[in-house]
Each structure stands twice: as structure tokens, then as C-alpha cells.
Structure 1
């Protein structure tokens, strides 16, 4: 082989090896990010960036927020940011929250912001709500005054985030539930529904005075009744349902008494039929008894005739008595 071509192939192989080495080096050593950090005032070494790669931490996820924090004048080190990232937190959100709190003159440290973020709350949004209060609109809440008339109310609750209670504090659902409970209690204590319609601000004053934001992540600034409507006449509806229930109970008891009377009547009829059957049976035995008496000589023929005459006379008197009663 020609020495020229041999040298040419050697140069190509060396160039490919150099490119591979450079690619591997740039893969583990983000030189561009290091240069950007250096000229942004973030003092981070190449070894630190390589260590992030080895710990499977994206250097961009740490250095970019670090650059923002440095430009904003915050004193944060890369170890804290990396530890928060490894714990599953959002480093960029925490840094944005710290910058926003610094601009709004809110005392918020990195440890507190990281704890809020790891607790599952959006710390940057919390800082924004702390500066710019948020309005929570409750659903329609039904309550019944003492006169039985239903009142349907909707409230707007203006709240501000309480940074100190974000960790462990209740959320918006608790605020809505407590406001709803306060509205139901206030309307329920009113003697007439018209009193509530005339003074809807009485609901706001009473509910606001109950300290509903206790134990929550918010501070209630105001409660405004946005809408009040008259609903159903619950009292009349309950009275109608009670009357219907009483009627059904009375009908059931009357049906029970009727059934018992029918049963007693049927029992008396059965007893009467049994008595009649016994009478018929006894009357059937009379001729046999008389025949036996005649054979034994206990009675004579004349006695039998006198008995027949007595029976005939009795039947005639009974017949006459029955006709007289009918004529009267």
C-alpha cells in the first residue's frame, strides 16, 4: 500500500477518535453551561458539573435557576438546590417564589419555600396570592329560616395566602365548607326569611366574626353575599308530608280494625252454624227417643198426642206473635 494513503487513513482514524473523545467529554462536561454560569457570576467548577452528571442530576435544572437567583441577589448554593431536586422538588418554582417574595418584601427563606414545595403546594402561586388576594366563589348554599322558607345564597370570599400556615394548613375546600356552615347557621337563626333578604350583610358580619380561617392556609379578608334568592316553602312541604303520613297511619289502623271486625263476625257466624247443627242433631234424636219411650212404656199414645198439640199450639202462638210484630 502506498505510504501516502496509509498516512491519510491514520489521520482519519485519529480524527474520528478525537471527535468521539470530545463528544464524550462534552456529554459529561457541559462546557457551554459552565461558560454561561461563569459570565453570569455563578462560581461553579467543572468537577461539580461532572458530579451532577454522575449523580444523574441534570445540570441545567440546577444551574439555570442558580443564575436567576444570583442575578436577583439571593444567597443560595448549588448543594441546597441539588438536594431539593433529588428530594423531588421543583427547583425552578422555589427560586421564582424566593425572587417574588424578595420583591414583595415578604420574609421567605429557602428552607421554608422548599418545605412548602415538598408539601405539594405551589409556593410561587402562594406568594402571588399573598400579594394579590384571591376570590373564592362558593356554590349555591341552601338554608331554611325559622318560618320554614328556604334561602339560597352564594358568597364571594376574598382570601390571602398565609405563608406561615401553608405547611399543614387546610385548603380552599375547607374555607368553602366553613362559609357554607356559617350561612346555614345565620339563616337558620333568623325568625323570618324576609329579615335575611332585607339585610344580607348580616350574614357576612356574622360569618366573618366566626374566625373561619383558623387552621387554614389562608387569611379571610372579606365575605360578600353575591346573590340571595327565595327557594321552596320547606315548612309547608314538611307539614304536608306529615299530614300525609298521619293519614296513611290512620287508614292503616282503620283497615286493621275493619279486618279484626270481619274476623270476629266470621267467627260468630261459624259458632252460630255450629250451634244450629247441634240443635238439628238434637231435634233428630227426639223421634228416636219418643219411639224408645213408647216401646219401653214410659209414655202412652195420649201423651204423644198431647205433646203434638202442645207443639202445634206453640207454633201457632209464635206465628201470631210474629205477624203482630210485623203489623206494628
Structure 2
């Protein structure tokens, strides 16, 4: 009897497993839900989806949502998009939102946007409700040398037709910053910019900065503008310091050249004195030679000595006298 009970339990367990596998591969409940919702599909199609490793619930729920919203979608296209790595439900929601907002968006464009890595539903929502982004502080210098620091708020609307391959928000911010710098830099005075900050917005907006991007710029508003440094004065001070350093370097160069010339003159004077001393050393020998040859007599020699003594006396008299020595 115990063996009979065990066999019954085993059969019941096997039946439950078989029933679960049957309903897993043959989603009768999902087929019934689709039929009641007006979506035409067959059990065989649902079984093939399971074999193709496509969750039937994802495809059926997407088709039910689109059917109730008045859109007719092909299950094969939904399967292909899922197998390509796309987000089926997000695409369907985007198509429904675009249809309700009267935004032209077909299934092919929506799947292309989704496969490109962009959020197609967010793009549709941005088309209905534009997004506002704030630029980082942008510093620019007017022609009078005064620095201005400006912040701008840019209102963007998604451009559905250029979402694939179009530039993103970073490009918009960079272009707006460039336009602000150009607009402030062309102003004669920073006071003009402070008096009419909307002139920056008009100039920047007129440049068509949204070309080639995935967005359309609706407006550019200057949120804040502050006065920064006097860049012109700082540049003039730096230039003056540079000129001073150059002048000092040139003066030092001239001084060094003068010192070199002075040292050269001293060397030449020393050389001349050496020659004089050398010539004076030859005088006694010349006098002795004159005595031997008879060209110089003793009286001539004494006369020369007297003249030399007289010259030395006159030199001593001509020299300035020092004050009396203190004891």
C-alpha cells in the first residue's frame, strides 16, 4: 500500500511538472489575453517566440498597448527589434506619446533612435515639454579690458529627425559659451553689456547654434552676469614689468661692458708702466756706455743730476700738503 501511495505522489509530481512546462511553452493565458484585447495572434506564434528566446509577454503586451492606443504594429518587427537589443516597451510608449502629441514619428525612426542609444521616450517628452539647461560660468573680456562672467539658460526641444547622428547637449553648451565670449568681446565697453544683457542672447541666438545637433534652441536667456577682473590693467602692468626687466637687463649689459673696458684700460696702463720701467732700467747702462765712448762728460752728468733734483723738488712743492700730524 505504501508503494502505491509513493507511485501516486510521483505521478502527481510529474504531472505538475509536465503541466508547468506545457503552460510555459504554450502560454494559453497570454494568448487568451491578446484575443480579448483584439490582438490577432496564434498559440503557434507564441510557441515560436519562446523557441526564438523572445519573451512572448513583452511582444504581446506591447501589441496590446499599441492596439488600445489606436496603433497597428507588426509582431515580427517587434521581435526583430528585441533581438537587435532594443527596448520594445520604450519604443511603443514613445510611439503612443508621439501620436497623442501629433508629433510625426514612425516605427522605423523610433527603433533607429532606440538602437542608437538614445532614450526615444525622453526625446518625445522633450518635444512636448522643452528642457532647460544652464551653462557653466563663461568668462569674457570686453574691449575696455573689463572681464565679465555670464551664465545662460538654454531652452531646448528635441529634434526627432536629427536624434540619430546629431550632436548632444555638450555641443550646445560649448557653442553657446563660444557665442557669449564672442558677443562680449565685440562690445566696446562692459557697461553696454551690463545695460543690455539681452543683446548677448540676440546675437548668440541668431548664429544658428543648433545646426547639426539633436536639439532645437528655443531661447537663450542670460541668467546672471558679474564683473570680474580688470584684465586690461593687469596686462598693462605685466607689460610694464616686462619692459622694466628688459631695461634693467640692458643697463646691466652696458655696465658689464664698461667694467670690461675699464679693466682693459687698466691692463694697458700696467703694460705701459712696465715698458717705462724697462726703459728706465736701461738708462744707467746707456750713461755708462756714453762715458766709455766719450759722448758724455762728467760735467754733463752733474748737470743732468742737478736738473733731476730740481725737477723732484718742484714735484714735491706742487703736491698738496697734508694737515699737521696729530701727536
Same fold at TM > 0.5 = yes
Deviates more, 1:307-316 or 1:267-276: 307-316
TM-score (norm 2): 0.88
Given the alignment, which residue of 129, 140, 143 partners 2:140?
A: 143
- Counterpart of 2:8 in structure 1 is 11
1:54 equivalenced with 2:51 (yes/no): yes
Secondary structure of the residue aligned to 2:282 is: helix
Deviates more, 1:286-295 or 1:208-217: 286-295
- 1:17-56 aligned at under 5 Å gives the runs 17-56=14-53
- 1:1-328 aligned at under 5 Å gives the runs 4-291=1-288, 294=291, 299-322=296-319
Deviates more, 1:64-73 or 1:38-47: 38-47
Alignment: residue pair count: 321
Deviation of 1:292 (Å): 5.2
| Unmatched segments (≥5 aa) in structure 1 | none
| Unmatched segments (≥5 aa) in structure 2 | 322-327
Distance 1:293 1:105, change over 3 A: same
CA–CA distance in structure 2, aligned partners of residues 300 and 314 of structure 1: 21
Deviation of 1:67 (Å): 2.2
CA–CA distance in structure 2, aligned partners of residues 306 and 70 of structure 1: 147
Deviation of 1:225 (Å): 1.6
CA–CA distance in structure 2, aligned partners of residues 36 and 247 of structure 1: 90
Q: Deviations over 1:261-312 (max 9, x none)?
A: 1122122222222322332233233334444555666645444434333333
The root-mean-square deviation of aligned C-alpha atoms, in Å, is 2.4
CA–CA distance in structure 2, aligned partners of residues 49 and 297 of structure 1: 151
Q: Deviations over 1:147-188 (max 9, x none)?
A: 111222222222211111111212212222222222222222
CA–CA distance in structure 1, aligned partners of residues 227 and 9 of structure 2: 89
Deviation of 1:33 (Å): 3.1
Deviation of 1:62 (Å): 2.6
CA–CA distance in structure 2, aligned partners of residues 273 and 61 of structure 1: 109
